[in-house]
Homo-oligomer: A and B are copies of this chain.
């Protein structure tokens, strides 16, 4: 029921290890679009596991502008960047109706001691998130509107395919143009014009918020970011299955 695939992208975990994660969760929360799970500046007592729906991590500036730093899909851990902060770094806002599993930070931290391999899996996960952020920084810093939009569409599509391999070239993107603007560092007006340009170039087709990637190759070239290939199996990095007690020492 709870999507746990994100933890096993690199190393496969035993049922006992996955169980420990499920036991750390205390309850489930449901929210509708636009509601915030937690606001920037709030105390950090929990992290969250996104069970269903989409969530945005947002950073607000003192000028009243908002940056969407990450679009979360089911299976993502939410809120963990703030775990070492006194007050939450990001606001977590639902982009669609969502279901979220709540995990107290203490229980979360304990997993590192009781289930070290899960800890390592979460470490790898965090590093992967860093790479995505690095690519985001590069996209914002070094490329123009069409490139940024291409990169965002490809990125979301890529991640959707990971969770549901049968997703084709077409998918629903439940963000307004205003939200896409907040994610790409552009204005909604310019997002709109850039979509029309991508339409005209024939690389995408739009129908409301449903997008069809007509020419993925061209999009990838346009985005001009390197493609990242995840290690298929990081087991070589860490001792097998559940016998880590033996390996320790």
CB proximity of A118 to chain B, nearest CB, Å: 10
With A61-B143, A84-B234 as known contacts, state yes or no: A69 contacts B109, CB within 8 Å: no
> Which residues of A line the B interface, CB within 8 A?
9-10, 40-41, 57, 59-63, 65-67, 69-70, 80-87, 89-90, 105-106, 109-110, 112-114, 116-117, 119-120, 122-124, 126-131, 133-138, 140-143, 182, 184-185, 221, 224-226, 228-231, 234, 236-239, 244, 247-249
CB proximity of A222 to chain B, nearest CB, Å: 10
CB proximity of A176 to chain B, nearest CB, Å: 17
B61 and A138 within 8 A (CB): yes
A228 and B106 within 8 A (CB): no
With A126-B126, A130-B126, A133-B134 as known contacts, state yes or no: A230 contacts B85, CB within 8 Å: yes
Partner of A106, one of B127, B136, B185, B236: B236
Nearest 8 interchain pairs by C-beta = A141-B185, A109-B237, A133-B133, A67-B138, A126-B126, A140-B140, A81-B130, A112-B120
Question: How many copies are assembled?
Answer: 2
Question: How far apart are the CA atoms of A116 and B135 in the complex, in Å?
Answer: 30
In the complex, the chain B residue whose C-beta lies closest to that of A109 is B237
In the complex, the chain B residue whose C-beta lies closest to that of A40 is B226
Extra A-B contacts (7), CB below 8 Å, given A59-B225, A85-B131, A116-B116: A59-B226, A81-B130, A84-B127, A106-B236, A109-B120, A114-B248, A136-B137
B89 and A226 within 8 A (CB): yes
Residues of B contacting A229 with CB < 8 Å?
85-87
CB proximity of A27 to chain B, nearest CB, Å: 20
With A85-B131, A238-B112 as known contacts, state yes or no: A63 contacts B123, CB within 8 Å: no
